[in-house]
Amino acid sequence: MVRTVLALAVLFASCKTTSFYVVRHAEKEAAPANDMMTTDVPLSAAGQERAVALRDQLKDKGIGTIYSTPTNRTTGTVRPLSAATGVAIQLYNPQDPIFIKNLVRHKGAPVLVVGHSNTVDDMVNTLTGKSLLQDLPDNQYGDLFLVKVRGKKTELVKERYGR
């Protein structure tokens, strides 16, 4: 009897849905005209507004982990949510294939990952196990991709955040 109860507990735990929220960073400042080599620019005023909108949209979702690349624009996008929830921002390298593969192994509390126009698609496609997205256009902000993973089943929901 005890074995049956334990087996059922393991089965139910393995069937739990894990939600992954994947976003591109919010709008960024333009690089200074006299310094085209500067790529790590902060959020613009519109980007800061969008970051607050992301906080407002996700603050009650129980986010347990926040991942960001180590750039001003990505950390700036999730900083308001981190401050509101007390969940620390964990930095990752978007070029590290091991990070993306390990991301799939998260179980339980929802995860937020902020990336770039050319990495969001990789994360969503890896999480779903399907080739659903391509690189996002450089001028496209505010897409929020929710990937729900339950066992081997996945569901992708595209939402918006901000104005």
The tally of domains found in the chain comes to 1
Whether residue 96 lies inside any domain: the answer is yes
Handedness of CA 117, 122, 128, 130 (dihedral sign): positive
**Structural contact between residues 47 and 78, judged by C-beta atoms closer than 8 angstroms:** no
pTM of the model: 0.89
Whether residue 23 lies inside any domain: the answer is yes
Whether residue 156 lies inside any domain: the answer is yes
CATH code, domain with 39: 3.40.50.1240
Q: In the sheet where 89-91 sits, what is the strand order? A: 89-91, 65-68, 111-115, 17-24, 143-150, 153-160
Whether residue 11 lies inside any domain: the answer is no
* Secondary structure letter of residue 28 according to DSSP: B
Whether residue 143 lies inside any domain: the answer is yes
Task: Render pLDDT for 104-151 as a digit per residue (tens, 0 to 9).
Answer: 888 999 999 999 999 999 999 999 999 999 999 999 999 999 999 998
Structural domain boundaries enclosing 118: 17-160
Whether residue 10 lies inside any domain: the answer is no
User: Helix 45-58 to helix 72-85 angle, to the nearest 10 degrees?
Assistant: 40
